[in-house]
Amino acid sequence: MTAQETAPVSAGRGEPLVVLSGVQKHFGQLHALKDIELTVKRGEVVVVIGPSGSGKSTLCRTINRLETIDEGSITLDGQPLPQEGKALAALRAEVGMVFQSFNLFAHKTILENVTLGPIKVRGVGKAEAEKKARELLDRVGVGHQAEKYPAQLSGGQQQRVAIARALAMEPKVMLFDEPTSALDPEMIKEVLDVMVDLAEQGMTMVVVTHEMGFARTAAHRVVFMADGAIVEENTPEEFFTHPSSDRAKDFLGKIL
């Protein structure tokens, strides 16, 4: 990937892009998100780590409104998240999401998987959408697989297609929820390499991952969650060498 192939992202760099303020979320009796304060700046890469069940996925899902919140506010580029209808569909296009399970449409080709959103949601013409999709598939290293179906690709290739599919919508921010957790070890690096490239090009990213190599290489900030709360946040260097909370020390002791 080269810098020229991406849209200019330098404009407004460093300004708040995603702002969560006083966010509370319950699932029945369970307090899943506790008074979350988090600002992600344009061009920033935030890695979210924490034990299973600490609310990392829920946090991601609130940002593209797959989950509603009970209290507080979330803004994207200064605008409150829309609640429904076309505005909500537009929001989902602006917030790209990549999950642990790749969620590609099994009965559509790789190319169709990537063009579907731009054509249906963005109203892009078929030829233009296909041109852009082929560029993106080349960028993530699966350009030669465009006519195949998802099941014919490896997990790592499918996950790279999922990234290309999200990028095709020209999102303002990309959310990654444990994107390599379901992959065989030899495929993890090929996905992380694509993510590091994206980060280097200035994409704003929120990444839930336990890949500490990625966090050290690409993250500007590590946010550590436990029991639905942000317990501490710091640069990767500081967080990994001098975690301040007992929860973080305990967690790092288990995974490092």
Footprint of ligand ADP (CB under 6 A): 27, 30, 32, 50, 52-58
Convert residues 114-133 into a mask of x (bound to Mg ion by CB under 5 A) and - (unbound): --------------------
Number of residues that bind Mg ion (CB under 5 A): 2
CB of 98 to ligand ADP, least distance (A): 14
Would you count residue 62 as binding Mg ion (CB under 5 A)?
A: no
Give the separation between CA 118 and CA 170, rounded to whole angstroms: 9
**Binders in 135-154 for Mg ion, by CB under 5 A:** none
Q: Determine the 3-state secondary structure of 21 from DSSP.
A: strand
- Of 74 and 167, nearer to ligand ADP (C-beta) is 74
Segment interacting with Mg ion, rule: CB under 5 A, options 19-27, 30-38, 55-63, 119-127: 55-63
CB of 249 to Mg ion, least distance (A): 22
* Residue 179 main-chain phi, psi, to 5 deg: -65, -15
CB of 168 to ligand ADP, least distance (A): 26
* Tokens describing residue 241: 């060498």
- Of 99 and 239, nearer to Mg ion (C-beta) is 99
Give the separation between CA 22 and CA 36, rounded to whole angstroms: 5
CB burial string 98-120: b at 16+ within 10 A, e below:
bbbebebeeeebbbbbbbbbbbe
Q: Which does 113 bind (CB under 5 to 8 A by kind): ligand ADP, Mg ion, none?
A: none
Q: Determine the 3-state secondary structure of 137 from DSSP.
A: helix
Give the CB-nearest residue to Mg ion: 57
Closest-CA residue to 254 (of 212, 207, 204)? 212
Q: Which does 27 bind (CB under 5 to 8 A by kind): ligand ADP, Mg ion, none?
A: ligand ADP
What are 145's strand-pairing partners? none
Measured from the Cβ of residue 50, the count of other Cβ atoms closer than 10 Å reads 23
CB of 30 to ligand ADP, least distance (A): 6
The DSSP code for 245 is S
CB of 55 to Mg ion, least distance (A): 8
**Could you identify the residue written with the tokens 């790209």?**
96
Q: Which does 236 bind (CB under 5 to 8 A by kind): ligand ADP, Mg ion, none?
A: none
Give the separation between CA 27 and CA 215, rounded to whole angstroms: 30
Q: Which does 58 bind (CB under 5 to 8 A by kind): ligand ADP, Mg ion, none?
A: ligand ADP
CB of 47 to Mg ion, least distance (A): 14
- Of 55 and 117, nearer to Mg ion (C-beta) is 55
* Burial of 179 per CB tally in 10 Å (0-12, 13-18, 19+): buried
CB of 206 to ligand ADP, least distance (A): 13
One of 54, 57, 113, 157 touching Mg ion (CB under 5 A): 57
* Tokens describing residue 230: 């942000």
Give the separation between CA 161 and CA 145, rounded to whole angstroms: 10
Positions that interact with Mg ion (CB under 5 A): 56-57
